[in-house]
Amino acid sequence: MEVRRQIEVSGIVQGVGFRPYVYRLATGRHLRGTIRNTSAGVTIEIQGPAETVQDFVEHLPAEAPPLARITSLAVHEVPCVVVQIGGDQDFRIVHSAEGEEVRTLISPDVAICPDCLREMFDANDRRYRYPFINCTNCGPRFTIIRDIPYDRPSTSMAVFPMCPACQAEYEAPLNRRFHAQPNACWECGPRVELWDKAGKRTECRDPIVEAVSALHAGLVVAVKGLGGFHLAVDATNSAAVARLRQRKRRVEKPFAVMVPDLRAAEEICELDDAASAALQSIQRPIVLLPKKLRPGGDARLSIIPDEVAPFNRYLGIFLPYTPLHYLLLSEGGFKALVMTSGNQSEEPIAIDNREAVDRLNGLADYFLVHNRDILLRCDDSVVRVAGGVTRQLRRSRGFVPVPVFLKDDQPSVLAVGGELKNTICLIKGKNAFLSQHVGDLENAESYSFFHEAIEHLERILEIRPEIIAYDLHPDYFSTRWALQQSEVQLVGVQHHHAHIASCMAENHLEGRVIGFALDGTGYGTDGKIWGGEVLIAGYEDFERAAHFEYVPLPGGAAAIREPWRMAVSYLAHHFGREFLRLDIPFVRQLNRPKAELLLRMMEQGVNSPLTSSCGRLFDAVAALVGIRQQVNYEAQAAIELEMAMGSSKIVSSKTASPEKDTAYPMKLLPELVPEDDHWIISTRPLFEALLEDLGRNLSVGTISRRFHNGLVEGFVQLATVLQQKTALNRVCLSGGTFHNIYLSERLEARLSEAGFEVFTQKEVPSGDGGLSLGQALVAAAKLHA
């Protein structure tokens, strides 16, 4: 019996080879019907024997092209169409009516696909070694779009008219390059050039070959990629890496490394299935993985010298994603290239050729440039893989602008994020569009990138926000910007409330939850610096159910750069000046005059704001056990305190329940002290136990583990107390502290064991990069409650 079905598909289904795919799926089954683009996606009508149609519907989502993202698929029964001569006898791609607005989700920039890669290395192919080869399954999208609708004239490919061969591919419905907007070849497309450090084009036969020789000679080459420039050096050449570090004035902060393939990755890092999948995914993020230890546990025998990621057990590695990357690595036979963002320390990544020569002056010896303009900067994404789960640390290239899909329709909101690792978020309907990584809003270049990101996203997504959400911190650049906007409703959102709401939104939660929001800094409703917060929260509001006890942050920002100050602050807070008589290395090595100054500062309340920060607690412990007195990049002390426990291979956070762990002292727990209607988490017992451990000369690794475990058990106790009070059973974990793999895995496992339903962040960073999502949801809820 014949049936006919109408299938409406929404999501990212245009410009990604979806129509040719459906055509093949239908004709392969001898089904009749049509497919056309609509404003929501595509509509398919399909007719044939009931079983075959059913089979078609089942296969439709499963085998969709790599860039397609189906968000909904609705199947309706419709009457069969009688077959007439010249009528609906086969399957046809129906072109959209003239003038009909076709607007849909835009796909992100993704890695070159296997088909294009094969063609590029095929000497008989017309695109042999062509560095801009692409098709509907791969290549640039988001970073070359000027405006919508997404058509070649609205992209930076507009200046390259297609040659007849490319045009024919572009127009053939069954061709892999059907409507591939960046389609190009040697005849008609962009070209690569090698410039010297003054920006002068070098005369050479093959710019890529020349760039490779420069890299082999240990020089720094700026390479234009998809979302901006990288600074590249041979990662196995320690002198070259050291030179790049020195020029970039980047002390100790790890560099990411690009390796030619999975096998090369395996030689350097510990890989499991999830890590391999993340590395090879079309998004090609930087994946943080444990460095492989050589026999005898010596990481120094790796081909990657220490300078790449000093004092770090992890390495950020990624695979090539542009054709140019593949050509560079294969031509040079490199085992690994350092590929770090092309910028001066904390500025945004450079994208324009002239801008690069200008801003990377003194950093790069050569510039491998091309004339396909990058219209929007977009840094590499960074993920970590632990326990088989991939989590976003920096959600950017490859993922943006794929929305986070929400449970319910929302009003149009713009959320402007925080100060560090800034992202913005635009919401429309059920889609939350997070911007690429904007970075730390600390200089003029970042401010203009912030404006750029907002304008560009509003334009290509056609969102006019009714509401703007911002952080409560009065001095944040993003907050000041928001408060200058008119004709919109403005809603301030508390930092940690936004973290918990971000976790709730990603997990499609409603109602109220117990939220652990742990991080370094966030402005509190009492004007103090919060950071170790346990909230009872819904989207519209929150109660502060518990927090770490306040201690002074002596010197403000200086205390963040110098963890020893936090150790002194905690010791003085708990033990008074008595602590100076303690016979432990930290006190013995203390610079007395400086410590004295600090103590007086705190006693007189000068430049010593109070904080309940969890990040600063980690800093204090790291300094106290002798790991680090000063940091060179954000969260360095906390990261090294975690690493002190050993690599994740050796230490599994999930094994060994506390009862079985005989070394575990139950007194190493924070204490819950009631105050008014909430709890103060007192760290005094924890520091007493730490000092005792230090006196017994326990290893730093053991102390670190006991500290982590102590916090976890304290949090489980606290969650249990709150559960009894509120009858809530769902716990959300968010905030930058949860980038700590050991802490997050162990807390999640222990809370689950205690019967809680635990929710964490995967798709969106739990750090400040995910803040804007939470801000948007809170603002929407407050105004539409």
- Please list every residue from 298 through 327 that binds Zn ion, using CB under 5 A: none
468 pairs with which residues across the strands? Answer: 414, 490
Which CB sits closer to Zn ion, 113 or 617? Answer: 113
Single out the residue of 68, 102, 113, 364 in contact with Zn ion (rule: CB under 5 A). Answer: 113
Cβ at position 484, least distance to Zn ion in Å: 44
Q: Which lies closer to Zn ion via its Cβ, residue 12 or residue 166?
A: 166
Between 113 and 567, CB nearer to Zn ion:
113
The nearer residue to Zn ion, 126 or 200, going by C-beta atoms, is 126
144-183 positions binding Zn ion, by CB under 5 A: 163, 166
Residue of 63, 171, 187, 526 interacting with Zn ion (CB under 5 A): 187
Closest listed residue to residue 398, CA positions, set 429, 436, 428, 365: 436
CB of 66 to Zn ion, least distance (A): 9
Which residue in 224, 259, 261, 217 sits closest to 239, CA to CA?
A: 217
Q: Stretches 115-123, 324-332, 689-697, 773-781: which one binds Zn ion (CB under 5 A)?
A: 115-123
Part of the chain binding Zn ion (CB under 5 A), chosen from 78-86, 184-192, 405-413, 587-595: 184-192
| Least distance from Zn ion to the Cβ atom of residue 119, Å | 8
Footprint of Zn ion on 422-451 (CB under 5 A): none
Q: How far is residue 9's CA from residue 37's CA, in Å, rounded to a whole number?
A: 10
Of 44-52, 108-116, 625-633, 656-664: span binding Zn ion (CB under 5 A): 108-116
Stretch that binds Zn ion, among 23-31, 129-137, 677-685, 738-746 (CB under 5 A): 129-137
163 vs 783 by CB, closer to Zn ion: 163
CB of 116 to Zn ion, least distance (A): 3
Which pair of structure tokens corresponds to residue 50? 């009931």
d(CA 319, CA 658): 40
Q: What is the 3-state secondary structure (H, E, C) of 677-716?
A: CEEEEECHHHHHHHHHHHHCCCCHHHHHHHHHHHHHHHHH
User: Shortest distance, CB of residue 140 to Zn ion, whole angstroms?
Assistant: 11
- Beta-bridge mates of residue 672: 681
The answer to whether the beta carbons of residues 403 and 105 sit under 8 Å apart is: yes
State in angstroms the smallest separation of the CB of 370 from Zn ion: 16
Nearest distance, CB of residue 129 and Zn ion, angstroms? 15
490: Cβ contacts below 8 Å, ≥ 6 apart: 467, 468, 470, 482, 483
Give me the least distance between CB of 135 and Zn ion, in Å please: 3
Question: Which residues, numbered 10-49, are part of the site for Zn ion (CB under 5 A)?
Answer: none
Binding mask 66-105 for Zn ion (x = CB under 5 A): ----------------------------------------
Q: Is the CB of 141 or the CB of 544 nearer to Zn ion?
A: 141
Q: How far is the CB of 68 from Zn ion (least distance, A)?
A: 14
Task: Give the burial class of 625: count Cβ atoms within 10 A of its Cβ; 0-12 exposed, 13-18 middle, 19 or more buried.
Answer: buried
Rg, C-alpha atoms of the chain: 28
* Residue 33 to residues 22, 49, 61, 98, 223, Cα–Cα distance (Å): 11, 13, 18, 21, 47
User: Is 314 in a helix, a strand, or coil?
Assistant: strand
Residue in this structure with the two tokens 């346990």, named with its chain if needed: 534
Reported as type and span, the H/E element at residue 625 is none
Extended strands (E) in 26-184: 32-37, 41-49, 69-78, 91-93
CB of residue 282 vs Zn ion: minimum separation in angstroms? 10
Interface residue with Zn ion, options 188, 490, 580, 610 (CB under 5 A): 188
CA distances from 17 to 46, 94, 113, 180, 189 (A): 18, 15, 13, 8, 21
Q: Which member of 185, 194, 315, 357 binds Zn ion (CB under 5 A)?
A: 185
Task: Compute φ and ψ for 653, nearest 5 degrees.
Answer: -70, -20
Q: Encoding tokens for residue 646?
A: 């050993």
Compose the 735-774 pattern: x for residues touching Zn ion by CB under 5 A, - for all others: ----------------------------------------
End-to-end CA distance of the chain: 51
Tell which positions 625-644 bind Zn ion, by CB under 5 A: none
- Residue 707 has a CB neighbour count (10 Å cut-off) of 26
Strand partners, 682: 671
Of 9-17, 136-144, 234-242, 534-542, the window that binds Zn ion (rule: CB under 5 A) is 136-144
Q: Minimal distance in Å, beta carbon 155 to Zn ion?
A: 16
Residue 120 binds Zn ion (CB under 5 A): no
Cα–Cα dist 253/246, whole Å: 12
> Smallest distance from the beta carbon of 15 to Zn ion, in angstroms?
13
Binder to Zn ion among 25, 46, 116, 356 (CB under 5 A)?
116
For residue 334, the one-letter residue type is F
Closest to Zn ion by CB, 114 vs 674, is 114
Mutual orientation of helices 636-643 and 741-753 as an angle, nearest 10°?
Answer: 70
What DSSP designation does 364 have?
-
Nearer Cβ to Zn ion, position 322 or 423? 322
Q: Which residues of 450-474 are buried (b: 16+ CB within 10 A; e: fewer)?
A: bebbbebbbebbebebebbbbbbbe
* Contact pattern for Zn ion over residues 261 through 300, marking x by CB under 5 A: ----------------------------------------
For Zn ion, the binding residue among 14, 34, 137, 392 (CB under 5 A) is 137
Helix (H) or strand (E) holding 178: none
Smallest separation (angstroms) from Zn ion to the CB of 139: 6
Which residues fall within 8 angstroms of residue 703, CB to CB, at 6 or more apart?
625, 690, 693, 694
Total of chain residues touching Zn ion, rule CB under 5 A: 10
By beta-carbon proximity to Zn ion, the closer residue of 170 and 481 is 170
Smaller CB separation from Zn ion, 138 or 743: 138
- Minimal distance, residue 327 CB to Zn ion, in Å: 15
CB 419 within 8 A of CB 769: no
Six-digit token string for 156: 């930076």
Select 111 or 482, whichever has its Cβ closest to Zn ion.
111
Find the shortest distance in angstroms from Cβ 152 to Zn ion. Answer: 12
Closer of 155 and 740 to Zn ion (Cβ) = 155
Closer Cβ to Zn ion, 56 or 132, answer by number? 132
Instruction: Give the shortest CB-750-to-Zn ion separation in angstroms.
Output: 46
C-beta closer to Zn ion: residue 161 or 695: 161
Q: Of the ranges 128-136, 243-251, 293-301, 355-363, which one interacts with Zn ion (CB under 5 A)?
A: 128-136
Alpha-carbon distance of 275 to 268, in angstroms, equals: 13
Contacts of 120 (CB under 8 A, 6+ apart): 112, 127, 128, 129, 130, 133, 323, 326, 327
User: Whose Cβ is closer to Zn ion: residue 68's or residue 233's?
Assistant: 68
> Could you tell me which of 332, 343, 330, 334 has the C-alpha nearest to residue 230?
343
Q: Which structure tokens are listed for 767?
A: 């750090």
DSSP label of 422 = B
Q: Find where tokens 């410590």 sit.
A: 595
**Sole binder of Zn ion in the list 138, 518, 680, 733 (CB under 5 A):** 138
Q: Which is nearer to Zn ion, 282 or 293 (CB)?
A: 282
Residue placing its CB nearer to Zn ion in the complex, 138 or 691: 138
- Judged by CB under 5 A, the residue of 135, 505, 566, 644 near Zn ion is 135
- Cβ proximity to Zn ion, 65 vs 615, nearer residue: 65
CB of 171 to Zn ion, least distance (A): 13
**Distance between CA atoms of residues 635 and 465, nearest Å:** 34
Least distance CB 349 / Zn ion (angstroms): 25
Enumerate binding residues for Zn ion (CB under 5 A): 113, 116, 135, 137-138, 163, 166, 185, 187-188
